[in-house]
């Protein structure tokens, strides 16, 4: 358990850095590149991401799970090289497809060429190995280095809207350097093992089964964004993209659980240790509800004021999108528990795929019918439909791994406290006449205080367990 906590803390450290990075760069980039530049970047990146999906496939989930169940260096080395060889073959095919695509376009062609660096970076991504070995610290330190370097370079070289190509180069190049750095420690841990075509082929079927939901995710995340750009214009894409970026900042803390617990759950399942699995699920489900619900209501409360100072007056429409998109925080949290920690770790990829596919289809239909009249609001609603549908279906498939009555009780308690947070935060927004940045700080402090006070009043078990642990360690240190 101590290693899990350590891995989670290191993952959260990186996610906090992910939060800080946009806090530093997003307001700057929004003002430098303007809504038009931000929209062009988002539109181009959406198309590039479709190619990235076919390089990455489902390797972060599949690779980490496979490495987690290997017990010796020989087996681990063979598994690593066979998976990476498959990854390399797919990357080469993807580059060929991308060059064909480049020959067919005329708009933003320079930017698409620059993203070749991005594709190359993902081709060398082996973070799945370290996640499987539960060596989160190494990934965290690499990512901290990459993010800090990127921040410095952005502020140094991106000065006007015409610097969009430089902005793309900085993001792509720092990502590539970060991926290459990870090859130094891995070559010390494993040895080169020659793999056969037969061994490579064994990965095709399970990877493709896991890849289907990943592809479906891109349908409602990227294809919907491309549809929005073609029908409503790049400025609307910029609005949607900025709202999505802010939500992703919050989601980082929650998604850390899935990253850390997938290899551990897969290992316990391979050993037949179902009691340990149910214990982890019980704690993580409560933790996800504990933090995602106040985050959801808190974001709804601070959204109007946050957008004013964080993005600027040019992006005021983003506040409405944030309010609509906020429930995604809860649904992604639930999907992390039921989908990644339960269904994928127990080799029920087919059920996970069904849930994601249904959500993606409903999302695409929703966006198609609403985007003409609602523009970016339609795409936001479509995202919410996809995440909610996927999470609820995954919950149904995973129902035997958790107590549904206990889940409903926790959901009710944290929702009541979350509504109190929303009311207090929004009320402060109307009552205080202070600078927007200071108002957001006050809203966050008051919201956190009210939520923690509420948890203490209802004697929340998780909070009191943390208090007992802290008291015990203080007593030991004094003794």
- Residue 149: inside a domain: yes
Co-location of 286 and 188 in the same domain? no
Co-location of 157 and 290 in the same domain? no
Instruction: Give the model's pLDDT for residue 398.
Output: 92
Residue 288 above 70 pLDDT? yes
Residue 57 above 80 pLDDT? no
Instruction: Give the model's pLDDT for residue 121.
Output: 92
Q: Using an 8 Å Cβ cutoff, are 241 and 50 in contact?
A: no
Of 202, 222, 240, at which residue does a domain stop?
202
Instruction: Give the model's pLDDT for residue 217.
Output: 76
Residue 104 above 70 pLDDT? yes
- Residue 360: inside a domain: yes
Residue 24 above 80 pLDDT? no
Co-location of 141 and 272 in the same domain? no
- Its pTM stands at 0.74
How many domains does the structure of the chain reveal?
2
- Residue 213: inside a domain: no
Co-location of 147 and 246 in the same domain? no
392-414 per-position pLDDT tens digit? 999 999 998 889 999 999 999 99
| Burial (0-12, 13-18, 19+ Cβ within 10 Å), 330 | buried
Co-location of 184 and 264 in the same domain? no
Lowest mean pLDDT among 173-187, 192-206, 257-271: 257-271
Q: How far apart are CA 168 and CA 31, in angstroms?
A: 16
- Residue 173: inside a domain: yes
Co-location of 242 and 198 in the same domain? no
Residue 44 above 80 pLDDT? yes
Co-location of 242 and 193 in the same domain? no
Co-location of 290 and 165 in the same domain? no
- Residue 120: inside a domain: yes
Q: Which two tokens stand for residue 331?
A: 């649904």
Closest CA to 354 of 389, 329, 401, 385: 389
426-472 per-position pLDDT tens digit? 999 999 889 989 999 999 999 999 999 999 999 888 888 777 766 76
Instruction: Give the model's pLDDT for residue 173.
Output: 92
Q: What share of the chain in percent tops pLDDT 90?
A: 35
Cα end-to-end distance, the chain, whole Å: 24
pLDDT confidence bin for 58, thresholds 50/70/90: confident
Instruction: Give the model's pLDDT for residue 363.
Output: 92
Q: At what angle do helices 318-325 and 234-270 cross, to 10 degrees?
A: 20
Instruction: Give the model's pLDDT for residue 421.
Output: 95
123-165 per-position pLDDT tens digit? 998 888 887 777 777 777 777 788 888 889 999 998 888 899 9
Co-location of 189 and 250 in the same domain? no
233-246 per-position pLDDT tens digit? 878 888 898 898 88
For residue 447, give its domain range: 232-479
Of 202, 220, 240, at which residue does a domain stop?
202
Cβ atoms within 10 Å, residue 112: 18
Q: How far apart are CA 47 and CA 260, in angstroms?
A: 29
Co-location of 302 and 447 in the same domain? yes
Of 163, 184, 202, at which residue does a domain stop?
202
Instruction: Give the model's pLDDT for residue 92.
Output: 94
pLDDT confidence bin for 175, thresholds 50/70/90: confident
- Residue 227: inside a domain: no
Co-location of 110 and 242 in the same domain? no
Co-location of 423 and 348 in the same domain? yes
320-377 per-position pLDDT tens digit? 999 999 999 999 999 988 988 888 878 788 898 899 889 989 999 999 999 999 999 9
- Residue 135: inside a domain: yes
Q: Which two tokens stand for residue 5?
A: 């906590």
- Residue 221: inside a domain: no
Q: In this predicted model, which residue has the larger pLDDT, 23 or 304?
A: 304
What integer is the mean pLDDT of 317-321? 92
């Amino acid at each position: 358990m101590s290693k899990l906590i350590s891995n989670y803390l290191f993952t959260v450290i990186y996610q906090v850095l992910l939060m800080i990075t946009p806090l530093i760069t997003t307001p700057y980039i929004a003002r430098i590149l303007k809504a038009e530049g931000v929209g062009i970047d988002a539109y181009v990146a959406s198309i590039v991401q479709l190619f990235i999906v076919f390089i990455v496939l489902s390797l972060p989930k599949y690779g980490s799970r496979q490495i987690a169940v290997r017990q010796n260096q020989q087996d681990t080395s063979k598994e690593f090289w066979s998976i990476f060889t498959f990854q390399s073959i797919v990357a080469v095919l993807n580059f060929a497809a991308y060059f064909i695509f480049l020959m067919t376009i005329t708009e933003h062609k320079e930017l698409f060429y620059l993203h070749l660096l991005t594709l190359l970076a993902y081709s060398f991504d082996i973070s799945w190995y370290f996640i499987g070995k539960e060596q989160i610290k190494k990934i965290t330190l690499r990512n901290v280095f990459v993010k800090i370097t990127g921040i410095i370079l952005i502020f140094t070289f991106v000065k006007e809207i015409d610097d969009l190509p430089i902005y793309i180069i900085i993001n792509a190049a720092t990502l590539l350097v970060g991926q290459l750095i990870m090859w130094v420690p891995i070559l010390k841990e494993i040895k080169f093992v020659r793999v056969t075509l037969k061994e490579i082929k064994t990965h095709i079927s399970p990877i493709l089964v896991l890849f289907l939901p990943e592809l479906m995710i891109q349908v409602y995340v990227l294809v919907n964004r491309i549809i929005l750009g073609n029908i409503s214009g790049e400025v609307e894409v910029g609005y949607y993209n900025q709202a999505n970026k802010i939500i992703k900042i919050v989601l980082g803390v929650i998604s850390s659980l899935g990253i850390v617990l997938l290899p551990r759950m897969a290992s316990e399942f391979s050993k037949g240790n179902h009691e340990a699995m149910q214990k982890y699920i019980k704690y993580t489900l409560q933790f996800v509800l504990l933090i995602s619900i106040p985050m959801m209501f808190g974001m709804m409360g601070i959204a109007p004021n946050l957008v004013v100072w964080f993005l600027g007056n040019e992006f005021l429409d983003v506040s409405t999108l944030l309010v609509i998109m906020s429930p995604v925080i809860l649904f992604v949290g639930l999907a992390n528990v039921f989908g990644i920690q339960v269904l994928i770790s127990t080799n029920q990829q087919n059920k996970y795929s069904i849930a994601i596919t249904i959500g993606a289809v409903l999302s695409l239909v929703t966006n198609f019918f609403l985007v003409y009249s609602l523009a970016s609001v339609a795409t936001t609603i479509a995202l919410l439909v996809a995440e909610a549908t996927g999470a609820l279906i995954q919950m149904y498939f995973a129902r035997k791994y958790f107590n549904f009555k206990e889940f409903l009780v926790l959901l009710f308690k944290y929702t009541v406290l979350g509504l109190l947070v929303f009311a207090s935060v929004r009320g402060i927004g109307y009552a205080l006449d202070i600078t927007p940045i200071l108002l957001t700080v006050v809203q966050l402090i008051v919201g956190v205080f009210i939520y923690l006070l509420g948890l203490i009043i209802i004697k929340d078990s998780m909070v009191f367990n943390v208090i007992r642990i802290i008291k015990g360690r203080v007593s030991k240190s004094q003794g």
